Amino acid sequence: MEQLPAHRPLTIVQLPDGQHVYADPAALPVQQPTGPQVVHIHQAPPDRTVQRVALGSGVGAGAVAAGVYFGPLLVGALTAIAANLAMLAFIALVLGWAVVTVVRSVTTSTRDTGRKGRKAR
């Protein structure tokens, strides 16, 4: 077993045509470093636009991380608040309808059907 050559790990490499292959890094030709990748804001997905603007304007990674974390958290909190308010409004509507129905039925049954006033004498 000691006669075997040392194991060289294979790495995943993306070829210029976009395919990913397993290759030995020593057998690959040297690639020239490319310039920075430019991503325009209008091509970014909607949930990443704020982060790209923040990074482009020189804001630090902490602000971007806060946007990534607190953005969905804020949406979830506002959704929960809206759901609670909708449930409370529904309960208030049902209770109001019940009170009006009970009051109408009580006042209608206790109303005297006999005529009162001057002509009844």
Strands of the chain, DSSP E: 11-14, 20-23
| 54: nearest Cα among 71, 42, 67, 40 | 67
Which residues lie below 8 Å from residue 47, measured CB to CB, with a gap of 6+? 71
Could you give the 3-state DSSP secondary structure of residue 49? helix
pLDDT of residue 17: 80
Q: 106: number of CA atoms within 13 Å, CB side?
A: 6
| C-alpha dihedral (12, 14, 18, 19), degrees to nearest 10 | -30
pLDDT of residue 83: 95
Collect the ranges in the chain with pLDDT lower than 50: none
Strand, coil or helix: 13? strand
